[in-house]
Amino acid sequence: MHVKVLVTGFEPFGEEKINPSWEAVKNLSKEINEAEIIKKRLPVSFKAIKKKLPKIIDESMPEVIILTGQAGGRVNINVERVAINVMDSKKEDNDGYKPEDEPIFENAPAAYFSTLPIRRIVNALKHNKIPATISNTAGTYVCNTAMYVALHHTTLNGLNAKTGFIHVPYIPEQVLEKTQPFMSLEMIEKAIEIAIKESIKS
């Protein structure tokens, strides 16, 4: 069986020149355990995500969707459990938009749970000596919006795709001037690869 895995990372945002999520995703092999890996870079834009992500999903029709993003300040790989139907930000996105208490979609469910095997992924990461945990909040910025949009789209359209989100820490070059936790890019890449391998198991 030919399995397609859509893996996304984000463009840089805020003061950052790079985004470790995309740096790691773009380095992944085109094939992992015989699964085809489709890599896409997403904009850090609430409105653009709502338009672009469903199109990307429809074009690639993957069996697995793993979205990744940067969570500066988090100390380990965070496998997200839930996405909530709210956009609320203290800082502007890359389009200069700063929503407050806004639903992502009107009259849509309050939340969606990840359909990835999150516990198995975390256990596999720890087994491979990669610090990891299940996170119960993906925040209310664009990362949460992306996770919600993907789960809403797959649910609404009856797409049989395991879908979820993984937050990654800063990489060393981002913390040269700040005292924040970080993880090597190699370890982040390995973590995403392990998450893919666990997610394509039946």
Question: Is the pLDDT at 202 greater than 90, yes or no?
Answer: no
Average pLDDT of the segment spanning 168-172: 96
Residues 92-120 pLDDT 10s: 999 999 999 999 999 999 999 999 999 99
Told to judge if 16 belongs to the known catalytic residues of this protein, a careful annotator would answer: no
CATH code of residue 90 = 3.40.630.20
Domain containing 195: what range?
4-200
pLDDT of 2: 86
Catalytic-role residue among 23, 63, 80, 198 = 80
Average pLDDT of the segment spanning 8-20: 95
Q: What percent of the chain has pLDDT over 70?
A: 100
Q: Which residues of 53-79 are buried (b: 16+ CB within 10 A; e: fewer)?
A: bbebbeeeebbbbbbbbbbbebebbbb
Task: Report helix, strand or coil for 124.
Answer: helix
pLDDT of 173: 93
Pick from 12, 72, 2, 4: which is nearest to 39 by CA?
4
Residues 21-77 pLDDT 10s: 999 999 999 999 999 999 999 999 999 999 999 999 999 999 999 999 999 999 999
pLDDT of 24: 98
Give the chain's domain count.
Answer: 1
Told to judge if 80 belongs to the known catalytic residues of this protein, a careful annotator would answer: yes
Catalytic-role residue among 23, 152, 153, 167 = 167
pLDDT of 146: 98
Question: Is the pLDDT at 1 greater than 70, yes or no?
Answer: no
* Distance in angstroms (rounded) separating the CA atoms of residues 121 and 116: 8
Told to judge if 198 belongs to the known catalytic residues of this protein, a careful annotator would answer: no
Catalytic-role residue among 143, 153, 193, 198 = 143
